[in-house]
Structure 1
Amino acid sequence: MNRDAHVPEWTLISLRPRGQHAPLRRAAQAAGAQVVALSPWALRVRDDSASRAQLSRALNAQRVVFSSPAAVHAAARLQRLDGAHAGTWLAVGAGTAAALRAHGVGTVLAPARMDSEGLLALPELADLRGLEAGLVTAPGGRGIIAATLVERGARLQRADVYQRVPLALPPRTLQRLRRSATPWVLALSSGDALTLLLARLPHDLQPRVREAIVVAASARLAEQASDAGFMRVQLAQGPLPRQLAQAAHAAIMTCASS
């Protein structure tokens, strides 16, 4: 993605968890953006005996689903993932699959459409009657994966291997955002992150943030942004940092030419 000399200054707002902004920052800066990192939460591994036991049961299931790269990395801190396993392992998207391969997992299935609906459309999850399905994830979220696995007949073995810890928005970062070049683009890959952000934003930033262009990683997230009052919402090709940055860059170019 080449930086265009005619692109105006603009700012991308990242809602990634604390410490996980670097890939999106690199992709956005390559497109000419400055990045303001507003982490509404941090991720914490649930390193206790109950979580380890849950994970062990989940990994022994005939179908094992990982909901995010964070779930993979947290699981790998609790138990090695590179051993032999009899079940079919599935990832919600390319990023999650890459994380599994980085931890030594050889065969992983992932959908082209990188969201819950794409995952659940895979034929390996179509009929789960008589099977155990492991779900490696975190508390919260929509719960559509767990509910659908059960609806399709699976005995669910859920392992919540990490948790999201809400954070206050740092005053210095908020002040930097106030001074940042417009237009603003909000990169949206988590509905819960957006909810937390809007609940914690100071009053003076609420209307300014809602004037931002939103690039959403899925149609569901685009709908949530529209319902929250955002008027300019663009759908990215997926949740990967380069996909979000490309969608943001395209939106800025459209804005600049109009």
Structure 2
Amino acid sequence: METEASLRGLRVLVTRPAAQADALCQMLAARGADVLRLPLQAIAPARQPALLMRALAEARSAEAWIFTSVNAVEQARALDAGVWPRAIAVGAATAAALERLGVTVVAPAASYNSEGVLALPELQQCAGRRYALITGEDGRTLIADTLRARGAELTTLAVYRRVDLPYPPAQIAELLAATDVAIVTSGEALAQLARLLPAGDAGLLRRLQLVVPSQRVVEQARQIGVLAAPLMPEQVADASYVRCLEAWHRR
């Protein structure tokens, strides 16, 4: 079938953490892509789990828990197996992870990012309401800053952290030279990729076609000198990344 060969001959570098990359890599390979793996970061539990367990239990009386990623859902569940309140999810994949746990969830209809969450009708008049932001360490502060400015009572709980993985610069240069397109699923991963490249091989990254999750990471790619306009899927989901690549490969 044509779908089975829709990415035939395309060399795709997947930089997602190893524990989360299998499904995407399998979908790409099923369509004929030559998949290269380079997990740039690992997801690690937070450093003070006992404190977080108590904080999550105390936050169950909140109006809602706001989750910024699937990682936030999974790591929070490892810390708290109780009944969670209603949730707000940044993206479709995060919403699906919450629904699998039986949690009632609301997500943006189109803009799967912090801006989309902040545009939800229920968060426009939130003064005096209590929320918990379930996220990772060193994430964006836009949701927290904006909700507090709107008068909400917000507790931020960083339930996981990203750990940069080291690679020899020569290995990174070799992989990029053998790559047609790279899927980079976070701004932190893109920054790590740029740091790992030897200075003399920076052109490999600038000439690479990227697929990224948001307009924020598109702007980040431009700032580091990437020449080709990065691709962006309509949703942050494996199937959307594949469809995005198929449309680009056809052109």
Same fold, judged at TM 0.5 (above): yes
Partner of 2:223: 227
Q: 1:103 to 1:205 in 2, by over 3 A?
A: farther
Task: Note if contact 2:168-2:196 (Cα within 8 Å) is conserved in structure 1.
Answer: no
Structure 1 residues 181-236: Cα deviation after superposition (integer angstroms, max 9, x where no partner): x5x21223311110111111234543223211112222222122122211112232
- CA gap of 1:136–1:84, structure 2 versus 1, over 3 A, is closer
1:186–1:213: 8 Å Cα contact kept in structure 2?
yes
* CA distance in 2: counterparts of 1:148 and 1:206, whole angstroms: 36
SS at match of 1:161: strand
**Is 1:17–1:39's contact at 8 Å kept on the other side of the alignment?**
yes
- Which residue number corresponds to residue 92 of structure 2? 94
Give the structure 2 partner of residue 23 of structure 1. Answer: 23
Q: Which runs of structure 2 are paired with 1:104-253 in the superposition (5 Å)?
A: 104-105=102-103, 107-112=104-109, 113-169=111-167, 174=172, 177=175, 180=178, 182=179, 184-203=180-199, 205-232=201-228, 233-253=230-250
Whichever residue aligns with residue 114 of structure 2, its letter is: S
Please list the CA deviations of residues 100-132 of structure 1 after superposition, one character each: whole Å capped at 9, or x if unmatched: 122232x11111221111111111211210111
1:44 & 1:77 partners in 2: Cα distance? 12
- The answer to whether the Cα contact below 8 Å between 2:64 and 2:87 also exists between their aligned partners in 1 is yes
| Structure 2 CA distance for partners of 1:158 and 1:57, relative to 1, 3 Å | farther
Identity %: 34
Q: Is the 8 A contact 2:125 2:150 kept in 1?
A: yes
After superposition, the Cα gap between the structure-2 partners of 1:9 and 1:146, relative to the gap in structure 1 and judged at 3 Å, is same
Alignment coverage as a number of residue pairs: 247
Aligned residue in 2 for 1:2: 3
Counterparts of 1:93 and 1:208 in 2: how far apart (Å)? 31
Going from structure 1 to structure 2, the CA distance change for 1:8 and 1:26 (only over 3 Å counts) comes to: closer
Q: CA 1:199–1:175 in structure 2 vs 1: closer, same or farther (change >3 Å)?
A: closer
Distance in 2 (alpha carbons) for counterparts of 1:150 and 1:128: 9
Gaps of 5+ in 1: none
Q: Which digits, 9 at most, give the CA deviation of each residue in 1:121-147, with x for residues without a partner?
A: 111211210111100111112211111
Find the aligned partners of 2:43 and 2:142 in 1 and give their Cα distance. 21
1:65 — aligned with what? 66
Q: SS of 1:3's equivalent?
A: helix
Task: State the distance in 1 between where 2:71 and 2:84 align.
Answer: 22
Separation (CA, whole Å) in 2 of partners of 1:159 and 1:172: 38
Q: Distance in 1 between matches of 2:128 and 2:55?
A: 20
In structure 2, how many angstroms separate the alpha carbons of the residues matched to 1:57 and 1:148? 23
Which TM-score applies when normalising by structure 1? 0.86
Contact in 1 for aligned 2:24/2:238 (Cα 8 Å): yes
Computed over aligned residues only, the root mean square deviation of the Cα atoms, in angstroms, reads 2.3
What is the alpha-carbon distance in structure 2 between the residues aligned to residue 209 and residue 3 of structure 1?
A: 29
Deviation per residue, 1:151-210 (Å, 9 max, x gap): 111111111111111111267964762573x5x212233111101111112345432232
Q: Are the equivalent residues in 2 in contact too, given 1:58–1:158 (CA < 8 A)? A: no
